Chain A
């Protein structure tokens, strides 16, 4: 009995090793095209898991409409718990066991950086990473196509809005002391230089800090009438509560990462009303035909999900890939889809207009500007606006 057990174990181990060591399987066959996404479904960043589930709505909608040229899309979601080591494991498993044609979305810059090289080596297309970092697209990565507007561009557009539309005279910047916050600060400063203005105050916060009294008092002393903040939801909440405590009431402006108004209004105890944010998607309650169609689909396929910004993001990150697959026709191949993606011009779904070429894989420099109205409603202040100062467009 013992010998039999040992033999079974050896065979199983050899089988497992051989299956893990095998190269990437093709991502499609005559019946299906396999696409996938990682995202935190559990763990500290679980709220962002809705991005991956949002993509599922678009996939179900496409499949119910007959698929793409006779092929259905098979969609895989894997929980990486916001842990890059876990992301590596799930991506490898998907590519080598299931055979994935393309990845879409993918929350977390660290997770993306952990698998970027692996996906490129295996010639797996990756469309619409769910974060904006320069390293994804500069220098250009042949298989990686970004949609998310860069934080520099967004901050530049929001600063312009503050000066030209809100007539702000004194602008201060409150940022998270990391790449995300500093990208925003850079964009804001570039715009201020163009407008021949200076920030009246720059104040930083560490991501875990719970007491922001000194930062808020500095901002108050600066006399800023507009404060642009590039921080996470927790820091933004503490900032607004502390500012309220010390009687500081500027016009707050924030990046799109805080554009989930129902969530932000809930956690700030109603202080989010009146805050202006950038947006990478149409307002969730918008009445455009395409958005209405998606909203109805979400009600049908996932009635338990909250229809919000990040859920919609999952749809918009996948839209260009679906469009490219449709254009390719029945003869699917990685090269054919790459060709379509590289020639995409001003494609627009519910996100910003997307343009890619063989030389530039940053698809957009545009955001919308929205404001949190009463009862967490979305008020659109400005339609899609691009950043004419975007340096990456000039480099080309």
Chain B
């Protein structure tokens, strides 16, 4: 039972972590928490659903098409909602993302209705693969572990070594200085939103495969992924993933021991950790002297 709790906790935690990374990427470059993140993922998942079940195209076509849609959607939201704001405050941008969230939810409800749907996913939650003798995992769990690891490593390398990644970090640290150094910050924001939407769509498809697809299905995972990101430290990609894993494991073990406390125990742990380390577990806390 211990191994099962651990694996299930790690699997759902990796999913939270992956989605948390999508939240963290935008925060890393613009200091904005994107409240439309869940609904962007939901919208992309509905597009995959539409391609597979309505148009009848196979998963290997629907999957890349959805990822392209996700990138375009992310860029479009940045372009239509955030860019037109003149001299926006962080709070103003945050409210704009809330507006985008409501718009996307309304659009999905209008187009696909509120009735729950089964999302046909490539990786089954029932079929297992024996990793080594006596130890089997289901395809979904293996997929989550592999995808999260790959995304985490790629993003770490991207932000550390690529020109664009460094430009993104520079934009977050000082937008004006970045502009003076020749970085096209608007383009950086656009690419950030596209990347974030892409990773969010990947995570949302995994969530949908495990539950049901409806316009509200990403609300709760968003809250937990955001909590995981805060726990790990919003500006540290590996930290966010580890935050997700801690959240998943904590919920599962506490939920097993005291089921009634499951929904809140993870948040209690987060509050305790944030009290001790306000910037999260894996981020350095800077104090500006005035």
B154 at the interface (CB under 8 A from A): no
A209 & B263 in contact (Cβ 8 Å cutoff): yes
- Given A203-B259, A221-B1, A263-B115, CB of A214 within 8 Å of CB of B210: no
B126 at the interface (CB under 8 A from A): yes
- Given A177-B260, A208-B220, CB of A213 within 8 Å of CB of B12: yes
- Which residue from A43, A218, A246, A267 sits with its C-beta under 8 Å from B118? A267
Interface of B is mostly: helix
Task: State A270–B214 Cα separation when bound (angstroms).
Answer: 18
Task: State A367–B114 Cα separation when bound (angstroms).
Answer: 28
Task: State A247–B150 Cα separation when bound (angstroms).
Answer: 29
Residues of A within 8 A of B224 (CB): 210
- Given A210-B210, A245-B138, CB of A46 within 8 Å of CB of B115: yes
B259 & A245 in contact (Cβ 8 Å cutoff): no
Q: Chain A, interface size: which category?
A: 20 to 34
B248 at the interface (CB under 8 A from A): yes
Task: State A213–B1 Cα separation when bound (angstroms).
Answer: 11
Residues of B within 8 A of A203 (CB): 259
- Given A42-B109, A203-B259, A214-B252, CB of A267 within 8 Å of CB of B212: yes
A169 smallest CB distance to B (angstroms): 21
B173 at the interface (CB under 8 A from A): no
B259 & A246 in contact (Cβ 8 Å cutoff): no
B164 smallest CB distance to A (angstroms): 33
0/1 interface trace, chain A 258-272, chain B, CB 8 Å (1 if under): 000001001111000
Task: State A206–B8 Cα separation when bound (angstroms).
Answer: 19
Task: State A127–B164 Cα separation when bound (angstroms).
Answer: 65
A234 & B114 in contact (Cβ 8 Å cutoff): no
Which residues 22-39 of A have a CB within 8 angstroms of B?
none
A238 at the interface (CB under 8 A from B): yes
A285 at the interface (CB under 8 A from B): no
A233 at the interface (CB under 8 A from B): yes
Which residues 179-231 of B have a CB within 8 angstroms of A?
207, 210-212, 214-217, 219-221, 224
- Given A44-B215, A238-B210, CB of A217 within 8 Å of CB of B256: yes
B113 & A210 in contact (Cβ 8 Å cutoff): no
B269 at the interface (CB under 8 A from A): no
B255 at the interface (CB under 8 A from A): yes
0/1 interface trace, chain A 200-239, chain B, CB 8 Å (1 if under): 0001101011110111011001000000000001100110
A9 at the interface (CB under 8 A from B): no
- Which residue from A46, A241, A266 sits with its C-beta under 8 Å from B210? A241
B91 at the interface (CB under 8 A from A): no
B8 & A237 in contact (Cβ 8 Å cutoff): no
Q: Chain B, interface size: which category?
A: 35 or more
B160 at the interface (CB under 8 A from A): no
Give A42's nearest chain B residue, CB to CB. Answer: B109
- Which residue from A208, A211, A267 sits with its C-beta under 8 Å from B219? A208
A44 & B114 in contact (Cβ 8 Å cutoff): yes
B289 smallest CB distance to A (angstroms): 43
Give A236's nearest chain B residue, CB to CB. Answer: B212
Residues of B within 8 A of A269 (CB): 118, 120
Task: State A263–B115 Cα separation when bound (angstroms).
Answer: 9
A234 & B5 in contact (Cβ 8 Å cutoff): no
- Which residue from A45, A204, A206, A214 sits with its C-beta under 8 Å from B5? A214
Residues of B within 8 A of A45 (CB): 114
B259 & A43 in contact (Cβ 8 Å cutoff): no
A244 at the interface (CB under 8 A from B): yes
Which residues 320-339 of A have a CB within 8 angstroms of B?
none
- Which residue from B9, B125, B211, B255 sits with its C-beta under 8 Å from A244? B125
Residues of A within 8 A of B125 (CB): 241-242, 244-245
B116 & A267 in contact (Cβ 8 Å cutoff): yes
Residues of B within 8 A of A267 (CB): 116-118, 212
B114 & A210 in contact (Cβ 8 Å cutoff): no
A374 at the interface (CB under 8 A from B): no
25 contacts between A and B (CB under 8 A): A44-B114, A47-B115, A209-B220, A210-B210, A210-B211, A211-B248, A213-B5, A213-B9, A213-B255, A214-B252, A214-B259, A215-B255, A217-B1, A217-B4, A217-B256, A233-B116, A234-B217, A237-B211, A238-B210, A241-B125, A241-B210, A242-B210, A244-B126, A245-B140, A245-B141
Knowing that A213-B9, A214-B256 touch, tell me 5 more A-B residue pairs with CB under 8 angstroms: A204-B259, A208-B219, A214-B259, A241-B210, A263-B115
**10 closest A-B pairs by CB:** A214-B255, A213-B8, A46-B114, A214-B256, A47-B115, A208-B220, A211-B12, A267-B116, A206-B263, A214-B252
